[in-house]
Amino acid sequence: MHSPGTDDDGPKRHGDQPHAEAPVSAAAPAPAAASADDDDDFFIPADVFEEPAGFRPPSPQPSSTTFSREPSSVQPGTPKDFVVHLVAKHSLWAHWLWNAGKSMTNFLDKHKDMVAGKDVLELGAAAALPSIIAALNGARKVVSTDYPDPPLLNNIRLNAIENAPAYLENGTIVVEVRRIAI
C-alpha cells in the first residue's frame, strides 16, 4: 500500500522532489550505489556517548582515617587519636573528612566550656568528630544527624561505637533523623 508522502523506498526526506513513477523495464539502468560521502547516509554510532575504559577514576570504597587531637587539649582518660570511618563515594561528599569538621573538633576541644553540661546538635555530621568530642568534653546530650540515608547514619553510629561507646550506650550521643517543618 502506498502512503501519501512516501516513496516505495521509504519515507519522504527533506529536499526530495515529487516525481511521477516510471515503469521499470529490463533495459532501465541499475541505480548507482551510495557512496560514503552521501549526506543521506548520515550515521551516529550508538556508543558515541560512552566513556572510554579508565576515563574516570574508580569510586572510593569505604575507608578510615586517623584524627589526632592537639596534645594540649587531651584530658586524662580520653583518647588522643580517633579512627574515623568514611562512607564510600557519596553524592553528599561524605567520603571525605572535611576540614570544617576537623576545625570544629579542635575548636570544641580547646573550648570545653562551650559544650560542658549543654545540649549539642550537629547537622550534616558525616564522620561525627565534633559530636564525639562534644560528648567527651562533657556535653549533656549530643544529637548527631545527617541526610536521612542509611549509609550516612550507620557511619555516624559506627564512629560513635568505636570512639566513644560509653557515650552512645548511656544516651549522651544520639544518632537520629527528624523532619523539620519550616
Output the pLDDT for position 104.
96
Name the helix (H) or strand (E) containing 82.
strand 81-86
In DSSP notation, 107-167 reads: HHHH-GGGTTTSEEEESS-TT-HHHHHHHHTT-SEEEE--SS-HHHHHHHHHHHHHH-HHH
The neighbouring-strand residues paired with 142 are: 120, 173
Crossing angle between the packed helical segments 129-136 and 150-163, to the nearest 10 degrees: 30
pLDDT digits (tens, 9 = 90+) for 41-92: 777 777 777 878 888 777 778 899 999 999 999 999 999 999 999 988 777 7
What is the distance between the alpha carbons of residues 126 and 130, in angstroms, rounded to a whole number? 10
Would you identify the CATH topology of the domain 63-175?
Answer: Rossmann fold (3.40.50)
* Nearest-10 crossing angle of helices 99-110, 129-136: 10
Assigned C-alpha cell, 163: 570512639
Domain ranges of the chain: 63-175
For the cut 70, the answer to whether the pLDDT of residue 18 exceeds it is no
In DSSP notation, 26-72 reads TTSPPPPPPPTT-GGG----TTTTPPPTTSSPPPPPPEEEEEE--GG
What is the three-class DSSP state of 106? helix
- Residues of the chain with pLDDT > 70: what percent? 75
Is pLDDT larger for residue 46 or for residue 112?
A: 112
What's the CA gap between 81 and 74, in Å, rounded?
10
pLDDT, position 91: 73
Maximum mean pLDDT: which of 3-12, 22-31, 92-101: 92-101
Can you tell me the distance from the alpha carbon of 115 to that of 143, in angstroms, rounded to the nearest whole number? 13
User: What was the pLDDT predicted at 11?
Assistant: 52
Higher pLDDT, 15 or 85: 85
The whole-model pTM stands at 0.66
pLDDT at 73: 95
- 34-45, pLDDT tens digit by residue? 555 555 677 777
pLDDT for the residue numbered 31:
58
Q: Which has the higher per-residue pLDDT, 94 or 35?
A: 94
Place of cell 576541644: 109
| pLDDT confidence bin for 103, thresholds 50/70/90 | very high
